[in-house]
Amino acid sequence: MTEFHITDAEFARFQRLIHEIAGISLADSKKGLLVGRLGKRLRALRLNTFGQYHELVAGPENTQERQTMVDLLTTNETYFFREQAHFDYLRNTIVPQHPPRQPLEVWSAAASTGEEIYTLAMVLADCLGVQGAWNILGSDISTQVLATAARGHYWLERTRGLPAEYLRKYCLKGVRGQEGSFLIAPELRRHTRFMQINLNTPLPDIGRFHIVFLRNVMIYFDNGTKRDVVARIVQKLHPGGYLIVGHSESLNGINDAVKLVRPTIYRLPPAAART
């Protein structure tokens, strides 16, 4: 099997390219990760050097291969009920104060393979009922992980963090050829929709939201990109809406339109308070 090597100059070109496309700042320490993940594409395309692959993906006309590169380089570690305190706050504070006759609109802006979306769905189904007025948009830059999220089909070893009660209540256990897996129940999936969105570019017309989860993605952005991404997302919040980030992230010095409620949880002031 061919072993590929990348020069410092070639790696720097890929760093600039992934930043240009996705806003991701790829650290120098990630050179081995890039070689490991993109080396498979070089073999599949029968290319000999990373320089040749960069020439292939650098042209804007090669949108499919650029997407393949992004899929390979974006990290998607996630699990059900990750950072439990956020879901407790949703259940105990946000949902009870939401106007009962107004549909609750939620956006998981870095949805990865969907565990966050379906965790939200289980909590909202518990609070508002499976027939309740709530909707979740899941988006990601990677089409590959979005396809997994849309299927809602996981292996049982992926139940880390998922309470056994929810596994029984909101999931269908696979049988025969699907043994060892589970499917998110259709009545939950009916409340979800999925869309590929690059947060590093102007956002499409996706409506406005009462809650946006933007967790564990800003760690890959430099400060300038963070400011641009958060400013775009804040424009999609309803007055009084919440923006929730990961436990290792902060909006301090990034955006002052949303106000800190508690660590990692921010709120856009209600309209009356903003006037």
Active-site annotation holder among 13, 37, 151, 227:
37
Per-residue pLDDT band at 13 (split at 50, 70, 90): very high
Considering the chain, what percentage of its residues have pLDDT values greater than 90? Answer: 79
Domain spans, the chain: 8-73, 84-274
| CA 150 to chain CA centroid, nearest Å | 13
| Helix ranges restricted to H, the chain | 8-22, 31-45, 50-58, 63-73, 84-89, 95-97, 115-128, 143-151, 164-170, 186-189, 223-234, 271-274
Looking at residue 2, its pLDDT comes to 61
Strand order across the 171-173 sheet:
153-155, 181-184, 171-173
Q: Is 176 an active-site residue?
A: no
Reply yes or no on whether 8 is catalytic: no
Q: Residue 191, Cα to own-chain centre: how many angstroms?
A: 17
CA of residue 6 relative to chain centroid, distance: 29
**Selected catalytic residue, list 71, 82, 140, 189:** 140
Distance separating alpha carbons of residues 73 and 36, to the nearest angstrom: 10
Contact status, residue 243 vs residue 274, Cβ threshold 8 Å:
no
- Per residue in 85-126, pLDDT tens? 999 999 999 999 999 889 999 999 999 999 999 999 999 999
> Over the stretch 184-217, which tens digit does the pLDDT of each residue have?
999 999 999 999 999 999 999 999 999 999 999 9
CATH 3.20.20.70 at 8-73, yes or no = no
- Name the CATH topology of 84-274: Rossmann fold (3.40.50)
Give yes or no for residue 165 having a pLDDT over 80. yes
